[in-house]
Structure 1
Amino acid sequence: MAAGLDWAALPSVIIVEIFSYLSKSDRVRTSSVCRRWRQCLFHPCLWNRVDYELCLSKRQKSRFLSDRCGHFIREAIVKFNSHNIAEVRECFRILKILSENKNIQSFALQPTSCHIEWPESQPMLYDRYLESIEAIIKSSRKLKHLSFGCVEELLDQSDRIVELLARNHANTLESLHISTVKEDSENYEIVDMDVNDFDLFKNLQSLSIDYDHLSNDLLKNFIDCRKAKLLHLCIHVHGVHPQHEKITNDTWRMLRNHCPDLEVTLNLIHSFDGTDALLDILQSSMPLANYRQFFCSNINLAAIDFISTHFGTTLKSFHIIDGYNAGSPNQYTSDSDEDPFVMLSWRCPKLEMFTLISYEIADNDVIAIARLRGEKLWKFEIPLNCIYSMLEDEDGVWIGHGCVDQSFRQQVCDSLKREWKPLSDTDLPLAVFDVQADAEKAYMSILHRDQMPL
């Protein structure tokens, strides 16, 4: 290093270039060189994306970043506890700042719950949330990604939101997530939505939507050579009513032919009707990649067989979680000699994630799944207390839950070619054991990952 070099005399373009090669933590440390370097730390090109976390320990940092960068960042994710009044208010403050940012291209809410606790002292805060979200849509010059984090009440205005997006960002919007979570799947109102608005989106590649709004006409909007091809379609199923339009296999076949890389995710959430009607929802030409059931209180074994039979070339993940029945795992009875989940593992060579929580399964079937999928099954979740073994002693043969031996675990580890152990009770969400507990903690983070930008 040359003696007497004045680091503060470097041109700002060089300082910013130096920062661009560093991690955010290293940039902060490097900015302590002098005041001029500190000023360059917040150059707009260094802060394309900010994740605002509004919990008490990180709120001050998020507030500082929103004040300093909120007017020019391009991507923003707001993570907050939607039952904490202080965090709900702080989220609104950030929304107001972002609503004046013409550069914003990606915006996502990630609340802890599908419902927001609105403060009684601010009865109009709900309306002001919606106004700020609409202002973000109107002020942005090039919005590409928008996610509402499954908040049901914000999406009561989904028809208005889709209309605004079609009017302002028909040529730029790439991903839109307007699916919701309805904890009371048997009692909710369906919001009207004009599916013709979707015909205006020329570059939409990822869509999350409720089954209530899915129709043949909506899907046919994406069968258009003038548009970008749809890559991801995530469907949330709650209630299933007679007025729901059945998506025909012909529609799925046409869509799949036009969009050969399309992957469909099907999420059944507190959907008792959904499991019963699953064979009507599933169609053989649907490119199902991810199937999930969250607290649906039932398994449709005929539908599981349909999935394993028809989606062998597409299925990548399978996830079922439910609550215990009177403190014990639920049982399922198959008419086949083979376990339906073993058959699923055999018929679906692309399966890489398998979760079955709250339903009992034989130790030999767990071993069989591991052998069939091998090291390709990088996520394999089975609770210990759901695994049963046939045991024998001087009093005869009996069934024991959670009584697996070291040989069982070693066989699974050998098949997966990695360390593996069953889930313990402490690994499971409280809602598995307590029907009154908050079930959202078991699935909200999964649903948020579905709604990340492309």
Structure 2
Amino acid sequence: MASLTQSFYEDWANLPDPILTQIFSYLSVVERCRVGATCKHWQQCLETPQLWRSFNCGFYLPAHGKLFRCVEQYGHFISRLTIFLNQKEAENRKNAIAVLEHLSSLENIHLSYLSIVFKGENPLFYGGHEFILALQNLLIKIGEKKEKSTLKHLNLSGLLANFNDDFIDRISANCPNLEYLNILNKILVCSVSPYCIMNLVLKCKKLQVLHLYHTSLSDDVLKALAEPGRKPLQRLGVVCRRHEKYGDDLTSEAWSGLLHANPGLKVELGFDHTCPLHRISEIMKPEIPVQELHLATFTRIYPEINTAVAYYEHTLEKLVVQTRPSRELQESLLNVAQRCKKLKALYVYCVLEKEVIDRILELCPLMRETRNYILKWTMDPEPWTVGKEEGD
């Protein structure tokens, strides 16, 4: 029996390196670090760069700080980095900052993808200042290679920190090869000016996906995105909030010029409950190629839905509505189902009549089949999961 057991372990220890590497690729970062302590052979296999190119680390407890050892050992291999943390605890913030600082200290950085996601509640009066400083230092380090800068994807939508023009200017100056940028981070005050975004657009000519608040846009920004010599803009995500009470409209001419230069453009347009109701119909324009529309107003919104159908019946694929139930709302949703032939997802966060729901699903068989909907005729506790909203 002893010889059989010994033979079993010897067989595992002597597996070819490619097979071990393939097995290790299915393990989490923490599990890989534990595997490295098993034997010298396995430790050597962990030096394979492809095992560490994609690195996801989560800091939710003080003990998770052990992940930093992996970053110290294999950080020079990392290409795609995602950091999750419960930012309420100082220790978690400290560990996440340590990861960014270590990457900044490396001689060569190969980072092409970076995402930071807060998963907890912000401490009182917390503005994420240390994250902004750490990111600025990292961006400066990345930008030392100028045109050879590797960073292409920067998703800061989950980072609840106060972005300002100085921070965005750091991105502009150091990431000329940027292709994706998302700064929709749900902070109450947006301090990023249209002038700053125009500077970003002029310097980052490869930008293909951009998500930002409407208050950070202007006609000049849209014109800059339409200039020749750029990579085509594929997706533009725009969210409108309370700032629109004092904001300026984007003209139909500017939108038309942008679409002419980028015929494949798809726009995600969103309005939250703080956006003045009268501004919704003013901001929506028939020239905008809206693929996704989010109306999280919690007020009666059916006229705006009918306007959206008139404008976007040939482009609309996803509609999200948070409002109050009414007969007019149900009629407007039936109008959406009848006329928007590309509709693939519908999420309605209020109660509808069952007959109306049945009719909507009858008109949209593909949506019914894929279950990309939230439609209810009885009030249930949230979250509503009749269908599954993408991204949740």
Q: Compute the RMSD of aligned alpha carbons.
A: 3.3
1:164 equivalenced with 2:170 (yes/no): yes
Distance 1:197 1:380, change over 3 A: closer
* CA apart distance, 1:233: 0.8
Aligned equivalent of 2:293:
291
* CA apart distance, 1:9: 8.6
Within 1, Cα distance between the matches of 2:65 and 2:200? 40
* CA apart distance, 1:151: 4.0
1:343 equivalenced with 2:335 (yes/no): yes
* CA apart distance, 1:227: 1.0
Deviations 1:386-410 (A, max 9, x none): 5xxxxxxxxxxxxxxxxxxxxxxxx
* CA apart distance, 1:243: 4.1
- AA of the residue aligned to 1:425: P
Aligned equivalent of 1:145:
153
Q: Does structure 1 retain, via aligned residues, the 8 Å contact 2:352–2:377?
A: no
Deviations 1:2-53 (A, max 9, x none): x9x999899xxx7257625764239959878841232221422221111112
Distance 1:58 1:51, change over 3 A: farther
- AA of the residue aligned to 1:346: Q
Aligned equivalent of 1:302:
303
- AA of the residue aligned to 1:376: M
Aligned equivalent of 1:55:
60
Q: Does structure 1 retain, via aligned residues, the 8 Å contact 2:184–2:212?
A: yes
Within 2, Cα distance between the matches of 1:119 and 1:307? 38
Within 2, Cα distance between the matches of 1:61 and 1:342? 54
- AA of the residue aligned to 2:366: E
* CA apart distance, 1:166: 2.2
Within 2, Cα distance between the matches of 1:164 and 1:240? 24
- State the SS of the aligned residue for 2:320: strand
Distance 1:267 1:59, change over 3 A: farther
Aligned equivalent of 2:383:
427
Q: Does structure 1 retain, via aligned residues, the 8 Å contact 2:129–2:162?
A: no
Q: Does structure 2 retain, via aligned residues, the 8 Å contact 1:88–1:118?
A: no
Aligned equivalent of 2:110:
103
Deviations 1:174-218 (A, max 9, x none): 1111223145xxxx4644342233212110001111111111111
Correspondences of 1:173-322 after superposition (within 5 Å): 173-183=178-188, 188=189, 190-192=191-193, 193-194=195-196, 195-241=198-244, 243-273=246-276, 275-294=277-296, 296-321=297-322
- AA of the residue aligned to 1:165: I
Q: Does structure 2 retain, via aligned residues, the 8 Å contact 1:240–1:277?
A: no
- State the SS of the aligned residue for 1:376: helix
- State the SS of the aligned residue for 1:99: helix
* CA apart distance, 1:225: 2.6
Instruction: Give unmatched runs, 5+ long, in structure 1.
Output: 323-329, 387-423, 430-444
Aligned equivalent of 1:396:
none
Give the 4+ runs in structure 1 shifted more than 6 A: 5-10, 29-33
- State the SS of the aligned residue for 2:211: strand
Q: Does structure 1 retain, via aligned residues, the 8 Å contact 2:352–2:376?
A: no
TM-score w.r.t. the length of structure 2 is: 0.82
Distance 1:154 1:74, change over 3 A: farther
- State the SS of the aligned residue for 1:291: strand
Correspondences of 1:400-411 after superposition (within 5 Å): none
* CA apart distance, 1:373: 0.5
* CA apart distance, 1:347: 1.1
* CA apart distance, 1:98: 2.7
- AA of the residue aligned to 2:59: L
Within 2, Cα distance between the matches of 1:178 and 1:77? 16
Q: Size of the alignment, in residue pairs?
A: 366
Aligned equivalent of 1:435:
none
Within 1, Cα distance between the matches of 2:295 and 2:319? 9
Within 2, Cα distance between the matches of 1:310 and 1:292? 15
* CA apart distance, 1:427: 3.5
- AA of the residue aligned to 2:41: R
Distance 1:126 1:300, change over 3 A: closer
- State the SS of the aligned residue for 1:345: helix
Higher helix proportion, which one?
Answer: 2
* CA apart distance, 1:73: 0.3
Within 1, Cα distance between the matches of 2:162 and 2:19? 41
TM-score w.r.t. the length of structure 1 is: 0.71
Q: Does structure 2 retain, via aligned residues, the 8 Å contact 1:75–1:105?
A: yes
Aligned equivalent of 2:49:
44
* CA apart distance, 1:381: 0.8
Within 2, Cα distance between the matches of 1:425 and 1:366? 19
Within 2, Cα distance between the matches of 1:118 and 1:15? 50
Instruction: Give unmatched runs, 5+ long, in structure 2.
Output: 1-6, 143-148
Q: Does structure 2 retain, via aligned residues, the 8 Å contact 1:315–1:350?
A: yes
